[in-house]
Amino acid sequence: EDVDPEDAEFQRRKRKDRMRANMKFIGHLFLRQLLSAKVIGAIICELVLCAEQSGDYVPEEHAIECACELLMNIGYTLEQLPTGFQALQLVCNRLFDLKARKTPEGKPAYSKRMVFMIQDLLETRAADWVSKTFKSSAKTKEEIRMEQQRDLEAKSRGIESPVAEHVVAGQRPMYISSTNAATAAA
C-alpha cells in the first residue's frame, strides 16, 4: 500500500509530539510523588539505551529528545534522591558519549539540534539545574546594547541579571512541597 510521504511525515511528527507530551506528564507525576525515582530511572535508561549490551546501539533522535525533555522537567528533584542520582549519573554519562559518537563514515551520529539539546542538558546540570530564561520581545539594537550594559554593570556589583530570570529546571513546585510538609506535620 502506497503511503503519501506527507501523510507519513505528519503521522511521525504526531507520534513524536505525543511522546514528548507523555514525558512531560510522567515528569509531573514524579514531581507530585506519584512515580518513584526507580521508575523514572528505568524510563530514562531505556530511552538512551544504558544497558550494558546496548553499548554499540545508538538510540533514535526522538528517544534522546524525550529523555532530555523529561530530565529538564525533573532533573533537580531527581538528583536529590539517592536512586535518582545514580540513574542520572548513568544517563548523563551515556548522553555525553552519544553526543560525541560518530558514524562509520566519520559524521556525527546526531543532528546539530540533538547535540545542542544534549549539551544544554549537561550544562544545566553542571550549573545545579539553574538556567536563565529571557523575556522575549522584539528589540532594537539600541535596546539590546542598553540591556547588555545593565547586565554587565549588575554583574560587576554582584547582582543577578535584571534581564534574565533564573529558573531551577526540574524543581518540585513550591505548592506541592508546602502541602507535603503540612501533611507530614499533621
Count: domains in the chain? 1
22 found inside a domain: yes
137 found inside a domain: no
**What tens digit of pLDDT does each residue of 125-172 get?**
999 998 766 666 677 888 888 888 888 887 788 776 655 666 677 777
Torsional class of 170: left (φ above 0), alpha (ψ -120 to 50), beta (otherwise): left
Return the C-alpha cell found at 102.
560518530
CATH code for the domain of 106: 1.25.40.180
What pLDDT is recorded for position 175?
73
User: The dihedral of CA 84, 90, 94, 99: what is its sign?
Assistant: positive
48 found inside a domain: yes
95, 118 Cβ separation under 8 angstroms: yes
Strand intervals (E) in the chain = 130-134, 164-168
pLDDT > 70? residue 111: yes
74 found inside a domain: yes
